[in-house]
């Protein structure tokens, strides 16, 4: 049961990265690719109907951590309290920017909201990458799960490399989504951004994989479970497929990007298996899926609830994406009084 829940926990994070990733990517790219207020409104409305539903998966991933691996949850939210709190405030600023930008017809207010969207997108992408990279590497926790470090210790070369990787990954994903939802000059700029970012993303993936061999024991753990290499293969296939489809099939490129994110997430997280929070002080102090999990009965009950509830969420989100599948145009925004 512990391994099943580790798989589900990883899947929830992967789904969150895929869905909210394009929101964070668009917000990060907005200052670079928007040339007018209408461009910015299109970017706001391209994520408007989806962003809050996408964040449900972040809440679910956190909830599963608490319910399935309570010891890991306690250590994680103690050791990484500062970056997680910063992440929370950034997401709040992003939500305020999205929902209140059109409430006041004032250029200065709109500029503040635009800045809020940018910072509330860029900072979470960076922080998520830094956090996961440090988890892959291991953090200084003792036998009691007490963190012997500070926020600045997380900003090490490997952690920062993870942050840059996540920012590029989400920016590329967001550019593809914007290309899918826009038209005209903005769509052309989104495609151009995707073409510029892809080689940078490829280079950063290679750098991160190389650094993983220097800063982590990931490859030694994977050697004990060679099936994990299949996730990296999936990521490579997705990354190559998205580039081949770029410019010819926007939807195909977006799906390829999603497959890349899925494969890379599973490869990285399962590179810690069976660990969830690795100790850099002593591997014996690490929190694993076995010493950090809830009771078998709890895991079984949760599995039944999850199998019943998650399909409902998937159907709802599929309905939302289908309902708002149309492109976001200037005409549609002007004719919709509820537009962002």
pLDDT of residue 46: 92
Q: What tens-digit pLDDT sequence spans the chain (340 residues)?
A: 888 999 999 999 999 999 999 999 999 999 999 999 899 999 999 998 888 889 989 988 988 888 899 988 888 888 888 888 999 999 999 999 998 988 888 889 999 999 999 999 999 999 999 999 999 999 998 888 888 888 888 889 999 999 999 999 999 999 999 999 999 899 999 999 999 999 999 999 999 999 999 999 999 999 999 999 999 999 999 999 999 999 889 899 999 999 999 999 999 999 999 989 988 888 888 888 888 888 888 899 988 988 888 888 889 899 999 998 888 888 888 877 677 7
> Cα Rg for the chain, rounded, in angstroms?
20
User: Which structural domain, as residue segments, surrounds residue 290?
Assistant: 2-207+274-325
Residues 192, 185 contacting (CB under 8 angstroms): no
Whether 187 maps to a domain, the answer reads yes
Whether 49 maps to a domain, the answer reads yes
Whether 213 maps to a domain, the answer reads no
Strands (DSSP E) along the chain, which ranges?
Answer: 275-277, 287-288
Residues 104, 78 contacting (CB under 8 angstroms): no
Whether 257 maps to a domain, the answer reads no
Say how many domains are in the chain: 1
pLDDT of residue 118: 95
pLDDT of residue 150: 81
CA–CA dist 257, 19 (Å, integer): 11
pLDDT of residue 78: 83
pLDDT digits (tens, 9 = 90+) for 227-283: 999 999 999 999 999 999 998 898 999 999 999 999 999 999 999 999 899 888 888
CA–CA dist 210, 170 (Å, integer): 21
pLDDT of residue 337: 64
Whether 233 maps to a domain, the answer reads no
Cβ neighbours for 277, distance < 8 A, ≥ 6 positions apart: 72, 75, 76, 79, 135, 139, 141, 286, 287, 292
CA–CA dist 293, 110 (Å, integer): 46
Whether 44 maps to a domain, the answer reads yes
* Tokens representing residue 238 in the block: 């997705």
Q: Helix crossing, 107-137 with 184-215: angle to 10°?
A: 30
Whether 45 maps to a domain, the answer reads yes
Whether 331 maps to a domain, the answer reads no
pLDDT of residue 112: 93
Q: What is the dihedral of CA 287, 63, 24, 208, to 10 degrees?
A: 20
């Amino acid at each position: 049961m512990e391994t099943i829940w580790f798989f589900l926990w990883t899947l929830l994070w992967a789904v969150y990265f895929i869905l909210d990733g394009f929101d964070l990517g668009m917000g990060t790219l907005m200052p670079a690719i928007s040339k007018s207020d209408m461009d910015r409104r299109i970017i706001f409305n391209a994520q408007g109907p989806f962003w809050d539903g996408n964040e449900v998966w972040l809440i679910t991933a956190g909830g599963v951590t608490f319910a399935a691996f309570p010891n890991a949850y306690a250590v994680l939210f103690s050791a990484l309290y500062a970056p997680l709190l910063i992440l929370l405030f950034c997401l709040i600023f992003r939500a305020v920017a999205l929902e209140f930008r059109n409430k006041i017809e004032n250029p200065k207010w709109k500029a503040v909201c635009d800045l809020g969207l940018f910072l509330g997108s860029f900072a979470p992408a960076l922080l998520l990458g830094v956090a996961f990279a440090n988890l892959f590497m291991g953090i200084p926790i003792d036998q009691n799960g007490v963190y012997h470090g500070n926020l600045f210790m997380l900003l090490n070369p490997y952690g920062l490399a993870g942050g840059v990787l996540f920012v590029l990954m989400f920016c590329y994903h967001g550019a593809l989504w914007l290309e899918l939802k826009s038209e005209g000059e903005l769509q052309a700029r989104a495609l151009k951004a995707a073409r510029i970012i892809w080689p940078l993303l490829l280079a950063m993936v290679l750098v991160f994989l190389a650094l993983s061999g220097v800063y982590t024991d990931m490859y030694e753990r994977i050697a004990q479970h060679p099936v994990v290499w299949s996730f990296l293969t999936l990521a490579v296939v997705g990354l190559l497929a998205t580039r081949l489809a770029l410019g010819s099939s926007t939807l195909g490129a977006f799906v390829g990007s999603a497959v890349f994110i899925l494969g890379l997430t599973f490869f990285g997280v399962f590179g810690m298996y069976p660990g969830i929070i690795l100790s850099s002080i002593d591997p014996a102090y690490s929190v694993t899926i076995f010493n950090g999990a809830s009771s078998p009965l709890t895991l079984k009950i949760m599995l039944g609830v999850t199998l019943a509830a998650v399909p409902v969420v998937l159907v709802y989100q599929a309905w939302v994406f289908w309902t708002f599948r149309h492109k976001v145009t200037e005409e549609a925004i002007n004719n919709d009084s509820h537009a962002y």
